[in-house]
Amino acid sequence: MKTLRTFFAAGGLALAMLATPVHAQQGEDNLAPQTEVAPTDGVQTDPSGQNPTAEVPTEQELMQALQGGQINGRVSIPDSKAAVLEQPQGREYRSFHEAWLPWIGAIAIIGVVLALAAFYFSRGRIMIEDSPEVGRKLLRFGFFERLNHWMTATAFILLAVTGLNYIFGKRLLFPLIGADAFATWSYWAKYVHNFIAWAFMLGLVFMIVVWIKDNIPSRTDIRWIRELGGFVGDRHPPAHRFNAGQKMIFWSVTLGGLALSISGLVMLFPFSVVDINGMQIAQYVHATVGVVLIAIIIAHIYIGSLGMEGAYDAMGSGEVDLAWARAHHSLWVEEEEAKTAKGPQPAPQTAPAE
């Protein structure tokens, strides 16, 4: 009997040893869902092993969500913007950028160039009239005014070239230089645009501070506009330091530059003050105002160089011909002469006593 009990005890121990790996494997399977590591994409699981964000909406729920504006999901990462799954306003922005914006830019810029070409070949260059005052110089802009003008102008040209790449680059430049060169150019154009913008904004502030007092509209501007500034006919209407046309340029650059600066800052620091809809509105404003202002500046460059003799000297040397100034800014010349007359006068000389 003792031998038999020993035999059964040994058999039971052997069966227990054989069964241990099976129970251990079953225990690991039961514990697996509770010890699963969260996926690296940020989706978490609950204790039952199910994904709480994997609920599949019905087609009717999707349609209702779209009609309400956008479809949002649930995310566990800090960036809540990632929860936006579908945004109908994004399709509107894509339509604007891919369809409307190139046409707006092309019509504005090419239209102004064609209009200026037609004016030049029909009217010709506006020349300085013959006068005994030709050759006498009058200071029009000081050193700081010219320095700030050229800094702002240079910054704007760089911003215009790099900004137009955003609209027309892949349509015009990409087929000519190829993918690699276009990618390199666009990469550096982005940095030039972002950093040069600060110089433009600084120059814009200085320009407003220095010139705003001379660009307040007045009654004289009404006559200048009525007579088309002397561009039609041979008479030049009287004007102060800035005529009505120059005031239009000033306020276009001021208001347009402020709109570009504000919308540009919104894009330089994305989502700091607005959501995705605000970012899209900022791009609407920035792109549209940008191409319109480029067209206006093209007209300004034409008048200040090829279109009018003597106009470039104002921002070149700072001195203009007195005959030119009297023809285009007669009231300003009178004001400058009045200031000179009120200045220190030489002491009268008495005749020596005999």
Q: Which two tokens stand for residue 182?
A: 């276009």
Q: What is the pLDDT of residue 55?
A: 62
Domain annotation covers residue 29? no
**Domain encompassing residue 211:** 139-341
Domain annotation covers residue 61? no
Q: What is the pLDDT of residue 349?
A: 47
Rounded Cα distance between 172 and 164, Å, is 11
Q: What is the pLDDT of residue 68?
A: 54
DSSP 8-state symbol, 126: B
Rounded Cα distance between 182 and 168, Å, is 12
Q: What is the pLDDT of residue 35?
A: 35
Q: Which two tokens stand for residue 150?
A: 């050229």
Q: How many CB atoms lie within 10 A of CB 280?
A: 19
Domain annotation covers residue 258? yes
Question: For 145-154, what is each residue's pLDDT tens digit?
Answer: 999 999 999 9
Domain annotation covers residue 303? yes
Q: What is the pLDDT of residue 66?
A: 57
Rounded Cα distance between 328 and 220, Å, is 13
For residue 168, which of 290, 77, 55, 86 has the smallest C-alpha distance? 290
Q: Which two tokens stand for residue 136?
A: 């006498």
Domain annotation covers residue 244? yes
Domain annotation covers residue 7? no
Domain annotation covers residue 267? yes
For residue 248, which of 285, 292, 283 has the smallest C-alpha distance? 292
DSSP 8-state symbol, 308: B
Domain annotation covers residue 166? yes
Segments in the chain below pLDDT 70: 1-57, 59-73, 80-82, 85-86, 342-354
Residue ranges of alpha helices (H) inside the chain are 2-31, 59-68, 88-95, 101-123, 143-168, 174-177, 179-211, 219-226, 244-268, 276-303, 313-316, 322-328, 330-342
Total tally of structural domains belonging to the chain: 1
Rounded Cα distance between 204 and 215, Å, is 15
Q: What is the pLDDT of residue 210?
A: 97
Task: Give the three-class secondary structure for 336.
Answer: helix
R_g of the chain, CA atoms, integer Å:
37
Q: What is the pTM of this model?
A: 0.75
Question: For 186-214, what is each residue's pLDDT tens digit?
Answer: 999 999 999 999 999 999 999 999 999 99
Rounded Cα distance between 322 and 133, Å, is 6
Q: What is the pLDDT of residue 172?
A: 94
CATH number at residue 177: 1.20.950.20
Question: For 38-66, what is each residue's pLDDT tens digit?
Answer: 444 444 445 555 555 556 667 666 666 55
Q: How many CB atoms lie within 10 A of CB 67?
A: 8
Rounded Cα distance between 114 and 110, Å, is 6
Q: What is the pLDDT of residue 146?
A: 97
Rounded Cα distance between 163 and 200, Å, is 14
What is each CA distance from 85 to 38, 44, 196, 280, in whole angstroms?
22, 18, 35, 16
